[in-house]
Structure 1
Amino acid sequence: MNRMYTVVLVVLALPFATRAQERPESYRSAAVEPWRPAGVSSELFESHAAFDPRGSDMYFVRSDKSFAGWRILTTHCEGAHWSTPKPPSFAGKGLEADPWFTPDGAHLYYISTRANGGMRSKDLDIWRVDRGIDGRWRKPLRLPAPVNSDEAEWFPRLGPDGWLYFGSNRPGGAGKNDIWRAREDAGGKWIVENAGPGLNTARNEYEALPSPDGSTMVLAADGGYFLSQRTNDAWSPRVRLGAEINVNGSEIGALFSPSGESMLFSRDTGEARSGEFFVWHRDGEEDWPPRCGTTSS
């Protein structure tokens, strides 16, 4: 959105991994189509979907038509349809957005102004909520400084390399908002560093989404969606994705399927619906996002 705690990461031998060395141009011919889950899609703006690996719940962000007033909602697949979206049990006051599950479903990262309950995006910090052995969410935890700063933090995503990637407008970057990364060492000290020139420029970079195998990064920045590839411990110079995805520059909130072969994101269509989901099937075959009855596509 404009926008380490130790966990057991599930790193799979994915089809996506075999393509790590392909040229970014090969990603420009994928099929893109709307995804309109009944009961979720509305005349407002839905974005930043996250699917619970442990069940049939979908978390997402709903905001008004001007893309303000961000709130996280959750819906459950009841067999034939998605339930009426409602705030999750851990919801707080203020703005909340950008939910993301760890692959084992034990933790969910998101951003929130709940520390002061305000409505200023500048007050957004990274929070994590952990799941107890009973399956219920515990009390949310605000990540400490230097992960959080006096500026806004955006879109926390934990990569298979152990780094937590996020956007921030903090000092010391290449320009405006940059992509940063953080990790906790064995002594409990947090290390935070700029994610490097492959991702960051003098313009805005907000959201960085590592692929499930860690070989590729999809970046939301001024100018649309970009692609970068992993080269040792750095990211290659980014390349803008094609017109199938970058239609008008409003694309945001990407989520890879577990296989890495598909990607869900949102776009402001400028029509009756302010914003809606689109799914990118690179090979046009994967049955994803999760279906709920016959009304979810």
Structure 2
Amino acid sequence: MSAGKLTLAACLAAALVALPAARAAGSGELLGPGTISTGVQETSVALTRDGNTLYFMRSDVAEADDTIMVSHRADGRWSRPRVAAFSGQWHDSEPTLSPDGRRLYFVSNRPPRPGAAAVSATMNGRSFAGTNLWYVERQAHGGWGAPVHVDGALNDGAMIYNPSVAANGDIYFSAHRADSGKAYQIYVARDHGHAAPERLPLGELAHNRMDPAIDPAGRFLLYAGDEGDALGRADIYIVFRRPDGSWGRPEHLGGEVNSRALENAPSLGPAFGELFVSSNRRDEVSFPKPRDDAATLQRRLQSPLNGSRNLWRFDISAVLRAHGVAPAAAGATSP
């Protein structure tokens, strides 16, 4: 179903369904309308293995004020999100969980060490909040420890985005670095992010590639970009690893994952083929419309489908199986 055909009432009904309910291949479901997905910006899903705790980023429309939120699911409903214990003071964004659930990685402009200045970056003559990679570690009592800065070359340049962690500890991320060309590219830093980053050879550097989501077993990678056939500003692509360990040719993801809106920040859920995407697809407005009063206009303009970015869930299991990918065995690692 397209965003233009998806009414807010249908989205609200979908929110009452338990998380594993979406079965139609490629069909999308707006995640927690009015609770998780709202009239501001939401991106970057990190879902625990039991499917009941959700971390995500919420920000203003300009994305100048990013904060990591957490919500819990009970009886098929998501709780009102609260600010994660380790966030709320700095420009924190793009949470991702390690496959074993023991670490939550995120990026932030917070000072990398006591007494240092906040991280900043400059590109094309414009200065903005920079980002370094951090993580928090799960404690025995179930909470998170203090944020830990990942020391290593991957934080050079202060522009690292959307980390994603394989089961063997390799960290994939997007960045603008000396060998990125004019656009952003995708890199991997092995040894839990401490090794020197290696740029993935996915094609011409003229194309922008962002927001990697690595299969924990390293068999495929999803990312946002435009390889020349995107429907909107950015679409979701998938690339499979060949038997020799090299990466194949990026493929535009079919079904209804992509639209003429912006799609980015893909992440994989705990279920096989479960894909979360951020999209600013919206309800279609046709004229003449039913006449608004001030209250109905305000409700509609502040609804999730007002053109802000929201969180959507898709099922791409059929795509994976068509490429010979089956559910990974427990403990599998990338080559």
TM-superposed deviation, 1:58 = 1.0
Q: In the alignment, which residue of structure 1 is the partner of 2:41?
A: 45
Q: Which moved more, 1:77-86 or 1:131-140?
A: 77-86
Hey, what's the Cα distance between the residues in 1 that align with 2:159 and 2:250? 24
Q: Deviations over 1:110-169 (max 9, x none)?
A: 111112457865511111111122222111111113020123100111123542101111
Hey, what's the Cα distance between the residues in 2 that align with 1:77 and 1:170? 39
Output aligned runs, 1:1-297, within 5 Å.
30-38=25-33, 39-53=35-49, 56-79=52-75, 81-115=77-111, 116-117=117-118, 121-184=128-191, 190-198=194-202, 201-222=205-226, 223=230, 224-231=235-242, 232-242=244-254, 244-248=256-260, 250-270=262-282, 271-272=305-306, 274-282=308-316
Q: TM-score, normalization: structure 1?
A: 0.76
TM-superposed deviation, 1:264 = 1.2
Q: Percent identity?
A: 23
Q: Which amino acid aligns with 2:73?
A: C
SS at match of 2:221: strand
TM-superposed deviation, 1:67 = 4.0
Q: Which amino acid aligns with 1:208?
A: P
Q: In the alignment, which residue of structure 1 is the partner of 2:9?
A: none
Structure 2: gaps (5+ residues): 1-23, 112-116, 121-126, 283-304, 319-335
Hey, what's the Cα distance between the residues in 1 that align with 2:60 and 2:176? 24
Q: Which amino acid aligns with 2:277?
A: F
Hey, what's the Cα distance between the residues in 2 that align with 1:124 and 1:225? 23
Cα gap change, 1:80 to 1:202, in 2 (>3 Å): closer
Hey, what's the Cα distance between the residues in 2 that align with 1:138 and 1:148? 21
Aligned length: 253
Q: Which amino acid aligns with 2:237?
A: F
Hey, what's the Cα distance between the residues in 1 that align with 2:205 and 2:252? 13
Task: Name which structure has the greater RCO, CA cutoff 8 Å, separation 6+.
Answer: 1
Cα gap change, 1:273 to 1:176, in 2 (>3 Å): closer
Is the CA contact 2:47–2:269 (under 8 Å) kept in the aligned structure 1? Answer: no
Cα gap change, 1:121 to 1:255, in 2 (>3 Å): farther
Structure 1: gaps (5+ residues): 1-28, 285-297
Q: TM-score, normalization: structure 2?
A: 0.68
Aligned-residue Cα RMSD (Å) equals 2.6
Hey, what's the Cα distance between the residues in 2 that align with 1:203 and 1:273? 25
Cα gap change, 1:86 to 1:121, in 2 (>3 Å): farther
Cα gap change, 1:102 to 1:190, in 2 (>3 Å): closer
Q: Which moved more, 1:241-250 or 1:112-121?
A: 112-121
SS at match of 2:78: coil
Hey, what's the Cα distance between the residues in 2 that align with 1:146 and 1:166? 13
TM-superposed deviation, 1:249 = 5.1
Q: Which moved more, 1:98-107 or 1:211-220?
A: 211-220
Q: Flag the structure with larger Rg.
A: 2
